[in-house]
Amino acid sequence: MDFFKHNRIYDFVKMSSYGIVLSLILFVGSLILFVKPGFTLGVDFAGGTIIQVQYDKPAPLAEIRKTLEAVDAYNGVQVSEFGSPEEILIKLPTASSSVNQDIGQEVANILKNTGNLSVRRVDIVGPKVGNELKEKGALALVLALASIMLYVSYRYEWRFALAAILALVHDIVIATGAVILFDIDLSLEVIAALLTLIGYSINDTIIIFDRIRETIGIRVNDSLENVVNEALSATLSRTVLTSLTVFFTVFTLYAFGGEIIKGFSLPMLVGSIVGSYSSIFVASKLVILFKFDLKKYYQKVTEAERKALEKKKLREMYERGRV
């Protein structure tokens, strides 16, 4: 299925000059959000206890908060609505110290006079486990970026690799900025979404880079700008179809999946837009800004193919007993 004319070449390089400016604004804005207000660590990383409680009518938040704060063990408790007026989320800054303590039942007993309720979920994470998860989550993101850079460097050229990694960092920072902006706790779901976004975004970029490499073979005497425009125009229908498929799938999760899955669906929703945008307007533009030389790359590829062919001929001659 093609939304765009096959033979028409769009001037993406000219449009990407404006795209880079927009990217810088979003990128810097996201970095500012990192500093203020900063991340709100979820129980996965900060440690503590989360209790999800459902009432049969709108929950009296002020009364619940007052009732819990009256108990010394629950100092620092946070109570907030969770998806609907009937459901609330209770966050305790400390984990239960006893494995025999049923914290859910204990909270239910304390709140029994606030209405008819049921405890739907209890998550408990100790501070040591939270720190380990935080370190491993950060390590997973760094290793993913490093391995992708090595792969792209091997398959293409270092300028392509650097452009791809900068575009990925751009996507991750903006998606994470959206997490802060919408006041979603930083949790393992968010890390999972960012790792998924890395794979999604690099896939788009690699397909475009592949098309650029193919076009170099038949446009070696042309300008890099024209080669990039032709490659982007040729892959535009595929990029739009993929982006829309992912966008509507993730939007369904965000709209109807409930509060509990928003840590995954929101960064993926933002990332599905930003990832496709960066593949077209950021990664390709960076390759041009890094002064990629078409003729040198073509000579390098041609020489590598010549050596591979000679090696293959020598192997065939050896197998036939001629060497």
pLDDT along the chain (323 residues), means of 10: 65 85 92 88 76 88 85 79 84 61 80 86 71 78 82 78 88 92 86 87 86 77 82 85 89 84 90 89 86 75 77 76 56
Task: Specify the pLDDT at position 99.
Answer: 46
Architecture of the domain spanning 12-39+130-292: Up-down Bundle (1.20)
Task: Specify the pLDDT at position 2.
Answer: 54
Task: Specify the pLDDT at position 261.
Answer: 85
Q: Hey, what amino acid is at 320?
A: R
Contact between residue 213 and residue 287 where contact means Cβ atoms under 8 Å apart: no
Q: Which CATH number fits domain 48-125: 3.40.1260.10, 3.30.70.100, 3.40.50.300, 1.10.8.60?
A: 3.30.70.100
Q: What residue ranges of the chain are covered by domains with CATH 1.20.1640.10?
A: 12-39+130-292
Task: Specify the pLDDT at position 322.
Answer: 55
Phi, psi dihedral angles at 6 (to 5 degrees): -60, -40
Q: Which candidate, 147, 206, 138, places its Cα nearest to that of 172?
A: 138
Q: Which residues contact 316 (CB under 8 A, 6 or more apart)?
A: none
> Can you tell me which residue has the tokens 């393992």?
188
Task: Specify the pLDDT at position 100.
Answer: 44
Cβ burial, residue 277 (10 Å; 0-12/13-18/19+): buried
Task: Specify the pLDDT at position 266.
Answer: 92
Q: What residue ranges of the chain are covered by domains with CATH 3.30.70.100?
A: 48-125
